[in-house]
A and B are shown apart, each in its own frame.
Chain A
Amino acid sequence: MSYNINSKGYYGEFGGAYIPEMLYPNVEELRQNYLNIMSDSAFQEEFQQLLKDYVGRPSPLYFAKRLSKAYNTKIYLKREDLNHTGAHKINNTIGQILMAKRLGKTRIIAETGAGQHGVATATVCALMGITCVVYMGEIDIKRQAPNVARMKMLGAKVVPATSGSKTLKDATNEAIRDWINNPVDTHYIIGSVVGPHPYPDMVARFQSVISEEIKQQLMTHENTPTPDYVIACVGGGSNAAGAYYHFLEDPSVKLIAAEAAGHGINSGKSAATSTLGREGIIHGSKTLLMQTKDGQITEPYSISAGLDYPGIGPMHAHLFHSGRAEFIAVTDDEAMKSGLELCQLEGIIPAIESSHALAVFNKKHFKPNDIVVLCLSGRGDKDLDNYISYFNV
């Protein structure tokens, strides 16, 4: 079985491009060109240069000694938190802005939940001098004021999504509607491995630099390119897709996905899509999503705005269905506790999304000689208010 995309844009039975005809020319243009553009040597040169000089890559693979001791195993942290703008999101936005330029687009739109992807998009648009419009749920705008300010300082226009539940899924709807209304000059930079084909594959490829570096760096640390486990949190699934990418077809590397259980899987306030979701269509992709019996998409909940999405990317739906990856649900409380533990054991304040991945160490046993790589997808600066009110710091 292959865990990569097939020629029709599916991972197993998941994926495809379930889009209205209005989007067809744009998505088709992208589908026909993305692989050629990405394999072009001038494109790669520019992309790699920016990842190095602007983003600060390679991000370190750090052996977390005290954390390893606490859990009696060998834990390496892939430090995406040290990237410019504080998360893995920028790997994708750098790639997509270069793609947009190659396609001759002069206007960028994006959706954002917590604001991380919005900031990463506003950043690359400033870098390239391209107009940027970011859609953000009205409720998220209130919850994530510092990131809204960042986007504005970077010159982006932040448009509140006031439809539906006024959060990430609605911001995504609004971005798609904008694209329908601006079919010629605009490129839509999607922030995760979601949306219609070719987005999941394109975003996964841009993020795959994470696992490419892990292989090289592990060689130095452990004299082997392959870990026993790779752990990542999954919202839409882009940091996980990047961390898994070069290990997908190697069954000796076990993949673990941490999902947000919110107040608990059966609490009615959760975002654990693999458990609570059923197959359906969301934002142009056939995948697992949380929905009513009747097929209406429901509103998820997580303390982490970046994991608060009712679907998962089609790659992850396939990894779940096929059993290739193990999905572990982590509650708000478990994540917050593990986030604080990392602060105190390693001096690193993680994003709350990444704290969900860290909580896996309390839910699964690893052997002393296991090499466990955890994708630390982002830093906790954006979450300080949340940490402060949760812990009464």
Chain B
Amino acid sequence: MNRIISKLQHSKKLLSIYITAGYPTLKDTTPLIEKLEQSGVDMIEIGLPFSDPLADGPTIQASSEQALRNGMTTEVLFEQLKDIRKTVNIPLLIMGYFNPILQYGVEAFCKKCQDIGIDGLIIPDLPMEEYLEQYKSIFEAHGLINVFLITPQTSEARIRFIDSVSNGFIYMVSSAATTGNTASFGTTQTDYFKRINRMQLNTPQIVGFGIKDHDSYTQATTNSKGAIIGSAFITFLNEFGIEKIDTFIGTIRP
């Protein structure tokens, strides 16, 4: 069974962390993943850096730029991850923009992911319609879950449709914003989380964008299956380094 699905079945609430591959230094990718698993994180999204990350705010833009300067490429990432399943058991996803994947070749990319033991992909700028028409069979043939996003503006009909074609989880974007928004969650978010919760979807939802501390983690997971932290984790890394990861995870989920 796909690790994402069994993880969802066997945990109450999931904490997923986003990292930028090749950041802070090129060689940090695998040590970071191992350390995050040891610190109790349930799932990891490995960001494949892109020159033009449209959906990302300043923190992830900067980490992506640095990772590219460090020499991160699709090829290098696959090389770094080739033995990752010898040490890491939690679900791993690759999050990346579509162009680098298209240039690698979608099928070749999926095959590599399968060989390595990647469980799913999050490609924000691959539209659902294109995925269903052109790529679904390739993803499925390689045991990969494709994760769709919904936002506060997504219509109910579209959410229902996304639910019907989803596997694993739905990525619930917390607010109308790029990543790393530092405003606290207010009633707008809570109402939105509740509204989606009431829809009783088949696919569990995990909330991402703007989760930065224990409070926002709790607000998000009260009405959903889990939360994803990206920018706030990268900001912490910048300040305190890899050794202190336990502290960060401990404050989010004591």
| Residue positions of A touching B, CB distance < 8 A | 16-22, 24-25, 163-164, 169-170, 173, 176-177, 180-184, 278-284, 291, 293-298
Q: Report the minimal beta-carbon distance from B75 to chain A, rounded to whole angstroms.
A: 7
Show 22 A/B contacts (Cβ-Cβ < 8 Å), sorted by A.
A18-B125, A19-B54, A20-B54, A22-B151, A22-B176, A164-B51, A169-B52, A173-B53, A173-B54, A183-B153, A280-B102, A284-B125, A291-B99, A291-B103, A293-B103, A294-B75, A294-B103, A294-B104, A295-B104, A296-B100, A297-B99, A298-B51
How far, in angstroms, from A298 to B57 measured CA to CA in the complex?
20
How far, in angstroms, from A22 to B149 measured CA to CA in the complex?
8
Q: Which residues on the B side are within 8 Å of A295 (C-beta)?
A: 50, 74, 99-104
Q: A281–B154 contact, CB under 8 A?
A: no
State whether the Cβ of B55 lies closer than 8 Å to any Cβ in chain A: yes
How far, in angstroms, from A323 to B223 measured CA to CA in the complex?
55
Q: Report the minimal beta-carbon distance from A309 to chain B, rounded to whole angstroms.
A: 13
How far, in angstroms, from A16 to B98 measured CA to CA in the complex?
13
For B80-115 the 0/1 string (1 means CB < 8 A from A) is 000000000000000001111111100000000000
Q: Which residues on the A side are within 8 Å of B74 (C-beta)?
A: 294-295
How far, in angstroms, from A22 to B124 measured CA to CA in the complex?
9
State whether the Cβ of B197 lies closer than 8 Å to any Cβ in chain A: no
Q: B149–A163 contact, CB under 8 A?
A: no
The 3 closest A-B pairs by CB, nearest first: A295-B103, A295-B100, A21-B149
Q: Which of A20, A281, A284 has the most CB of B within 10 A?
A: A20
Q: Which of B53, B127, B153 has the most CB of A within 10 A?
A: B127
Q: Which residues on the B side are within 8 Å of A296 (C-beta)?
A: 50-51, 68, 100
Q: B148–A21 contact, CB under 8 A?
A: yes
Q: B61–A21 contact, CB under 8 A?
A: no
Q: Report the minimal beta-carbon distance from A172 to chain B, rounded to whole angstroms.
A: 9
Q: Which residues on the A side are within 8 Å of B173 (C-beta)?
A: 21-22
Q: B153–A25 contact, CB under 8 A?
A: yes
Q: Report the minimal beta-carbon distance from A161 to chain B, rounded to whole angstroms.
A: 11
Q: Which residues on the B side are within 8 Å of A22 (C-beta)?
A: 55, 149, 151, 153, 173, 176, 178
Q: Report the minimal beta-carbon distance from A245 to chain B, rounded to whole angstroms.
A: 27
Q: Which residues on the B side are within 8 Å of A182 (C-beta)?
A: 176
Q: A281–B177 contact, CB under 8 A?
A: no
Q: B155–A25 contact, CB under 8 A?
A: yes
How far, in angstroms, from A162 to B169 measured CA to CA in the complex?
35
State whether the Cβ of B126 lies closer than 8 Å to any Cβ in chain A: yes
Within 8 A of A (CB), among B36-83: 50-55, 57-58, 61, 65, 68, 73-75
Q: Which residues on the B side are within 8 Å of A164 (C-beta)?
A: 51-52, 61, 65
How far, in angstroms, from A291 to B98 measured CA to CA in the complex?
13
Residue of A nearest to B153 (CB): A25
How far, in angstroms, from A183 to B177 measured CA to CA in the complex?
9
Given contact pairs A24-B127, A25-B155, enumerate 18 new A-B contacts (beta carbons under 8 Å).
A17-B127, A18-B127, A20-B125, A22-B153, A22-B173, A24-B158, A164-B65, A173-B53, A180-B54, A180-B176, A181-B181, A279-B102, A284-B54, A284-B125, A294-B100, A295-B100, A297-B51, A297-B52
Q: Which residues on the A side are within 8 Å of B149 (C-beta)?
A: 20-22
Q: Report the minimal beta-carbon distance from A187 to chain B, rounded to whole angstroms.
A: 15
Q: B124–A21 contact, CB under 8 A?
A: yes
Q: Report the minimal beta-carbon distance from B113 to chain A, rounded to whole angstroms.
A: 16
| Contact A21:B154 (CB < 8 A) given known A180-B177, A180-B178, A297-B52 | yes
How far, in angstroms, from A22 to B175 measured CA to CA in the complex?
9
Q: B55–A180 contact, CB under 8 A?
A: yes
| Contact A19:B125 (CB < 8 A) given known A280-B103, A296-B100 | yes
Q: Which residues on the B side are within 8 Å of A177 (C-beta)?
A: 54-55, 57, 178
Q: Which residues on the B side are within 8 Å of A284 (C-beta)?
A: 54, 125
Q: Report the minimal beta-carbon distance from B232 to chain A, rounded to whole angstroms.
A: 18
Q: B98–A18 contact, CB under 8 A?
A: yes
How far, in angstroms, from A170 to B100 measured CA to CA in the complex?
18
| Contact A282:B130 (CB < 8 A) given known A177-B57, A295-B101, A295-B102 | no
Residue of A nearest to B74 (CB): A294
Q: Report the minimal beta-carbon distance from A26 to chain B, rounded to whole angstroms.
A: 8
State whether the Cβ of B150 lies closer than 8 Å to any Cβ in chain A: yes
Q: Report the minimal beta-carbon distance from B112 to chain A, rounded to whole angstroms.
A: 14
Q: A282–B176 contact, CB under 8 A?
A: no
Within 8 A of A (CB), among B112-135: 124-128, 130
How far, in angstroms, from A21 to B149 measured CA to CA in the complex?
6
Residue of A nearest to B152 (CB): A183
How far, in angstroms, from A183 to B61 measured CA to CA in the complex?
21
Q: B98–A281 contact, CB under 8 A?
A: yes
Residue of A nearest to B176 (CB): A183
Q: A181–B68 contact, CB under 8 A?
A: no
